[in-house]
């Protein structure tokens, strides 16, 4: 199935003379294809054109990490990528994690460890941690902190987030060295 945007309730058309380019990609297992303004960021494309508003925007300069998604298996900051650069790639966003109303094990770990307060940074930490789940080796606690340093949180002080990621990595057998 190929989804064509703009989706219902999606973005308004850009200026008529704005340069555009075609893109075709996979998002959360669905093929999508269409045209985007060449200056549109990947984050804005996901949010406004595809309606995937779980990916948030916080600084638009690649520091705060709110817009972190997974592209071809790697956690990246989607405000630093253009939508046209997603052509031919596979993207995963937070919307892919839960099955219906039931939380994924990673999401459940975040809930259990009180790893979120306002929730604005949460999708970004979830996607960072999802990419970590396939890490081929054991990580120390210090390494986990380094791995999640691309996303800022102002509510939790990170303690719950580190605990949740540790819990999930242990479950996955990726494990954590004490």
Partner 1 sequence: MTDVTTRAEQRLSSRDGAIGRRDRRKEDDRLLQGAGRYVGDVGPSRVLEMAVGRCPFPHARIKSIDVRPALEVPGVFQVLTGDEVRARSGPIGLLRPDFDAPPLPSYGLADGKATYEGQGVVSVVATTRHIAEDAVQLVDIDYEVLPHVTDLELALDADAPVIHPEVMSSNLLSIKEFGRGDVEARLREAHASVEARYVINRVSALPMEPRAVLAEWQPGARELTVHASTQVPHLVRRQLADVLGLPESLVRVVARDVGGGFGLKLGVYPEDVLVSLHAISLRRPVRFLEDRNEHFRASTHARQAAHDYRMGVDASGRILAMEDVYTNDLGAANSAFGSSQQSTIVFSGPYRVTDGRVERRVAVTNKTPAGAYRGFGQPEVNFACERTVDRVARRLGMDPVDFRLRNMLRPDELPWTNPVGSYYDSGDYPSSLRMASSAVDYDGHKSRPRRQPDGRYRGIGFSAYVERTGVGAPKADEESGALFGAHESVTLRANWAGGLDLYSGVSSFGQGSETVFAQMCSQLTGVPYEDVVVHAGDTNAAPTNTGGFASRTVIAAAGAIERGAQEFTDRVRRLGSNALRTDADAVELVDGAVRVIDEPDRSISLRSIFRMAILGERLPPGESPGLEVTSYFSPSHAAYAFGTAAAVVNVDAETGEFEVERIVMVHDSGVAINPMLVEGQVVGGIVQALGAAVGEELVYDEETGQLLNGTMMDYFAPLAPDIPRIQVISTEVPSPVTPLGVRGAGESGTIPVAAALANAICNALDEFAVELDRLPITPEQVWRAVQAARAL
Residue 36 interacts with partner 1 (CB under 8 A): yes or no: no
User: Which residue of 58, 81, 82, 132 would you call a contact of partner 1, by CB under 8 A?
Assistant: 58
Residues 102 and 140 sit within 8 Å (Cβ to Cβ) = no
User: Which residue of 70, 156, 169, 174 would you call a contact of partner 1, by CB under 8 A?
Assistant: 156
Number of neighbouring beta carbons within 10 Å of residue 78? 29
User: Which residue of 47, 77, 92, 167 would you call a contact of partner 1, by CB under 8 A?
Assistant: 47
Identify the residue whose tokens are 């999606």: 10
Question: How far apart (Å, rounded) are the C-alpha atoms in residues 53 and 7?
Answer: 13
Question: How far apart (Å, rounded) are the C-alpha atoms in residues 172 and 106?
Answer: 10
Radius of gyration of the chain from Cα atoms?
17
Residue 153 interacts with partner 1 (CB under 8 A): yes or no: yes
Residues 155 and 122 sit within 8 Å (Cβ to Cβ) = no
The dihedral through the CA atoms of 64, 55, 141, 118 has a sign that is positive
Smallest distance, Å, CB 59 to partner 1?
4
Residue 45 interacts with partner 1 (CB under 8 A): yes or no: no
User: Which residue of 21, 31, 59, 88 would you call a contact of partner 1, by CB under 8 A?
Assistant: 59
Residues 116 and 52 sit within 8 Å (Cβ to Cβ) = no
Residue in 140, 142, 161 with CA at minimum distance from that of residue 151: 161
Smallest distance, Å, CB 15 to partner 1?
5
- Segment near partner 1 (CB under 8 A); pick from 22-30, 51-59, 83-91, 129-137: 51-59
Residue 93 interacts with partner 1 (CB under 8 A): yes or no: yes
Residue 34 interacts with partner 1 (CB under 8 A): yes or no: no
Question: How far apart (Å, rounded) are the C-alpha atoms in residues 125 and 161?
Answer: 8
Q: Which is nearer to partner 1, 91 or 121 (CB)?
A: 121
Can you give the binding site for partner 1, defined by CB under 8 A?
9, 11-18, 37, 39-40, 47, 52-61, 63-64, 66, 93-95, 97-98, 101, 103, 107, 110-112, 114, 116-123, 126, 141-142, 145-146, 148-149, 152-162
């Amino acid at each position: 199935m190929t989804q064509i945007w703009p989706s219902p309730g999606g973005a308004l058309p850009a200026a008529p003379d704005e340069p555009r380019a075609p893109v075709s990609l996979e998002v959360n297992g669905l093929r999508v294809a269409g045209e985007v303004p060449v200056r549109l960021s990947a984050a804005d494309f996901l949010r406004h054109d595809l309606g995937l508003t779980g990916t948030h925007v916080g600084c638009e300069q690649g520091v705060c990490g709110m817009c972190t998604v997974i592209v071809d298996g790697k956690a990246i900051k989607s405000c630093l990528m253009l939508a046209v650069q997603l052509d031919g790639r596979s993207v995963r966003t937070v919307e892919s994690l839960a099955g219906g109303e039931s939380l994924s094990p990673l999401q459940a770990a975040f809930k259990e460890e009180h790893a979120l307060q306002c929730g604005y940074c949460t999708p970004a930490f979830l996607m960072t941690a999802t990419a970590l789940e396939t890490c081929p080796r054991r990580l120390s606690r210090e390494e986990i902190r380094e791995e999640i340093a691309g996303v800022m949180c102002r509510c939790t002080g990170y303690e719950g987030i580190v605990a949740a990621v540790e819990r999930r990595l242990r479950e996955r057998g990726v494990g954590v060295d004490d």
